């Protein structure tokens, strides 16, 4: 199962997110859940970099089963960064609605 932990502060601002595990929906290379979650998360990170000029702190696992992203703490672009990452969460929750046995989105404060 892919688990996404979204870390927020008390005001609801997303500070970071961590994706761990493998969906195991299908064999490697044919796993739609994994491909969808990867596309959404990496697309969001690339959008943050491209559209705001800010680069998050990114850590990845060598086997593709780990992604940790700490968002930049930048007041000048924070609204845009938050909008992008919140859109990512909505997309991941959409995948979760259809494939909940393979992906779970959790929130931590």
Contact residues for 4 (Cβ-Cβ < 8 A; gap 6+): 17, 18, 19, 37, 41, 92, 103, 104, 105, 106
Spatial distance between the Cα atoms of 48 and 56, rounded to a whole number of angstroms: 8
Neighbours of 103 (CB within 10 A): 24
Residues forming the active site: 22, 34
Spatial distance between the Cα atoms of 4 and 21, rounded to a whole number of angstroms: 9
Token pair for residue 108? 């931590």
């Amino acid at each position: 199962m892919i688990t996404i932990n979204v870390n927020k502060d008390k005001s609801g601002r997303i500070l970071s997110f961590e994706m761990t595990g493998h969906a195991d929906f299908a064999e490697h290379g044919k796993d739609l859940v994994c491909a969808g979650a990867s596309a959404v998360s990496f697309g969001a990170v690339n959008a943050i970099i491209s559209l705001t000029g800010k680069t998050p702190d990114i850590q990845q696992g060598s086997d593709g089963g780990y992604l940790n992203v700490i968002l930049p703490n930048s007041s000048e672009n924070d609204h845009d960064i938050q909008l992008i990452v919140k859109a990512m969460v909505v997309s991941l929750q959409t995948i979760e609605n259809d494939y909940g046995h393979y992906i779970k989105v959790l929130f931590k404060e």
